[in-house]
Amino acid sequence: MREIQAGKITEKVAQLCFDANYQLGEDVGQALKNALSTEESPAGKAILSQLVENAEIAAEGVFPICQDTGFSVFFLELGQDVHIVGGGLNEAITEGVRKGYGEGYLRKSIVEDPLRRVNTKDNTPPIIWTDIVPGDALKITLAPKGGGSENMSEVAMLKPADGEDGVKNFVVDKVSRSGGNPCPPIVVGVGIGGTFEKVANLAKKALLRPIGSRNPDPYYADMEEVLLERVNNLGIGPQGLGGRTTALDVHVEVFPCHIASLPAAVNIQCHADRHKSVVL
């Protein structure tokens, strides 16, 4: 059994809050530069150029990439041979968010009640998803999720007879209806299978994959390519002002489902596609 101090988790989480909000991922930055070289729309090229410049300014000046520093969403891989000492795991992560968003001067965007809407003033509580895995390590991934992109999410409980075409049409229609609201060029996370709540989780986890990566199953890898082409043919373009670069990528994740069901979900991420990980 390996022990990990809760205080160490708090410090690492605070650093993740800084890094995820200040530094664009290398894969995302390269994808924006690649799009800049292929975009045909003058407005689209100008916007992509500004997005690249914005990321550079954020990294150099230690400023947030975006003013919406998001809901703190965590995905944990907790080794079954790990024992957290000196405090609870969730409490340590919550304190790390409080510390990171406070010391990092990051916007506090969370209200303590969805209807009475009083701000918690420290961006807590976070959302924490935990998978128990073999080993004695703890992997923490933070994916700050802005409101504009999160509001474009949707779950559809399709009929099995809708099949592959039904799923594809649902995804493309959702992106079309979203327009410029999620700050394109976007990354589209797609979940297929499981249950109502599982499919939404799949779609969000799909956003953690590197830009340009493909599902290991050739069938779904091909679906990702087809969806990316169809989405970019919509003409929404960077920031919704027209162009070929509506999405930087589409990622599909799947899970077994009931014989009577075909759940599908779309979770859209903005052009920043923020996420950072640390292993303790």
Extents of the domains making up the chain = 2-20+65-145, 148-273
Q: How confident is the model at residue 116 (pLDDT cuts 50, 70, 90)?
A: very high
Going by the DSSP 8-state scheme, the letter that residue 238 receives in this structure is G
What are the C-alpha distances in Å from 68 to residues 105, 110, 274?
A: 12, 11, 11
In the predicted model, is pLDDT for residue 190 greater than 90? yes
Select the more confidently predicted residue: 63 or 8.
Answer: 8
Residues 6+ apart with CB under 8 A from 13: 74, 92, 93, 95, 96, 97, 99, 100, 140, 142
* Continuous segment of H or E residues that includes residue 194: strand 186-194
Task: Give dist(CA 102, CA 84) in Å, integer.
Answer: 24
Across all residues in the chain, what is the average pLDDT?
A: 97
Positive or negative, the CA dihedral 230, 233, 236, 238 is positive
Secondary structure class of 259 (helix, strand, coil): coil
Instruction: Provide, rounded to the nearest whole percent, the portion of the chain with pLDDT above 70.
Output: 100
Whose tokens are 């249950």? That residue is 195
Torsion angle of alpha carbons 202, 135, 23, 274, nearest 10°? 10
Q: Which of 149, 109, 166 is nearest to 247 (CA)?
A: 149
Q: Quick one: tokens of 6?
A: 């809760």
pLDDT value at 51 more than 90: yes
**10 Å Cβ neighbour count for 216?**
7
pLDDT at 8 (0 to 100) = 98
Mention every residue, 6+ apart, whose C-beta is less than 8 A from residue 180: 236, 239, 240, 241
In 41-94, the DSSP E strands lie at: 71-79, 82-85
- If you average pLDDT over residues 204-221, what whole number do you get? 98
Q: In angstroms, rounded to a whole number, what is the distance separating the alpha carbons of residues 99 and 118?
A: 20
Confidence category of residue 55, pLDDT binned at 50, 70, 90: very high
Q: Residue 31's pLDDT is what?
A: 97
Q: What are phi and psi of 81, to 5 degrees?
A: -100, 20
Record the pTM.
0.96
Tens digits of residue pLDDT in 136-174: 999 999 999 999 999 999 999 999 999 999 999 999 999
Residue 102 neighbours by CB under 8 Å, 6+ apart: 122
pLDDT in tens, 75-102: 999 999 999 999 999 999 999 999 999 9
Q: What is the pLDDT of residues 214-270, one digit of tens each?
A: 999 999 999 999 999 999 999 999 999 999 999 999 999 999 999 999 999 999 999
- pLDDT value for 61: 85
> Is the confidence at residue 195, as pLDDT, over 90?
yes
Closest residue by Cα to residue 243 from 34, 36, 52: 36
The confidence score (pLDDT) of residue 242 equals 96
What is the average pLDDT across 121-138? 98
Given a contact cutoff of 8 angstroms between Cβ atoms, the answer to whether 205 and 75 are in contact is: yes
**So what's the pLDDT on residue 58?**
93
Per-residue pLDDT at 62: 84
From residue 55, alpha-carbon distances to 72, 96, 218, 273, 274 in Å are: 20, 24, 33, 12, 11
Distance CA 280, CA 270 (A): 29
